[in-house]
Structure 1
Amino acid sequence: MVNVGAGAGAYEPTDREVLAVEPSAAMIAQRPLGAAPALQATAERLPLPDQSFDAALAVNTLHHWTDLRAGLRELRRVARKRIVIFMRDPSSGEPCWLTEDYLPSLDPSRRNSAIVGVIREELPSVKSLPFQLPRDCADGLFAAYWGRPEMYLDAEVRRNISNFALAEEGDVAKGLAWLRADLASGEWDRKYGALRRLESLDLGHRVLLAELA
């Protein structure tokens, strides 16, 4: 398997042979001891032979690519059997209260909708499989704390979420101040407190699976 846009390796399986591809030397340096070997390259130009891997994996990375179609065609070129993509499809699942009420400027729905559209054009066989985020999700993706709103007030948590890094500082400060006030007054719990009791929630995250053979 080739893991494209692999980052520090958080999403890699440990029960099979993996080659990681990551453009950032800094991210490669953060990969732990024992992680899969990593190659510094971009999704748009994979220095790999045709059909050299059974599967190509891309997890929460397509929005970072500079040429989405080129990257998808490269996945299709190097994979023999299947392509697996994980991302949020805004046309599915529940809306995210964080962007609905507090940080609308961070809402990736328009961008993600366009990405899903291109995926369906480039990979016509793709199937969409629902994935519910658990309330205690250990991964720090943007919607991970849907049932633990206080976590978004933690600067260290936000530093690990690219949506915040790319946002206007003023917009973030205003939205977080509003969230802090609503948590203190109990307004958030009056509107969304039932989320604290759910084990998982469908926020539109999908495994997009394209079988090639």
Structure 2
Amino acid sequence: MQFVLLGWPDEGPTLRLDYRRFAYAGKFVMSNTGKAVVVDRWDTRSVPSTEYDTGVVAAVAFNADRTDASTLWIRYVTVRADRKGETLGPRLCAFLARAARGAGYETLKIAVNNPFAYEALHKAGFAWTGETTGLAELVLERPADAPATRHTATYRAGLDRYRDRDLGDPESSFLDSRAGATPPTLVAAARPTAALSAGDGRSLSDTP
């Protein structure tokens, strides 16, 4: 698999994703956000198409903070429906963090509205800031050059915010399974010892 930065927000990259297989597909057509993707050219479940970009199994859209040029906001993360559960989202976000560092960003942030995204971003080295948005999303962040310090008490407090919403399944079952848990293990790409990408940081081949 290849992790590829398609472009920064000012470069206006667009991406055509199949709305039947990707959540938020319509958001990736817009040119006002940067894009990065995971491409699997050997994917046997990819459907040939002249309408959609094929080979893409995960994507992320992002833009700079309006008031702090050193902060990059991740706006949307999507993984193809049949490829969920492979940590593609966390690995792509960790790749983006390294690319952002090379572009001069110091901090990455994301607002998440469900416990699955909360867990996935912790795997990418993010941690809850204790803040929420007006939409009741939890704001997570990490430095561009290293994973955030993840405190167990803060991690659990974030999960409790979702428990307070009386969610149905599968969210409630997932929250039950994380009762008393510690932050999840970082994906390899998010660890401080991970090898840096070569060249300009716009692409990276996946390694075990």
Normalising by the residue count of structure 1, what TM-score does the alignment of the two structures yield?
0.29
Name whichever structure is richer in strand by fraction.
Answer: 2
Whichever of the two has the greater Rg, that structure is 1
- Say which structure, 1 or 2, has more relative contact order (CA 8 Å, 6+ apart): 1
Name whichever structure is richer in helix by fraction.
Answer: 1
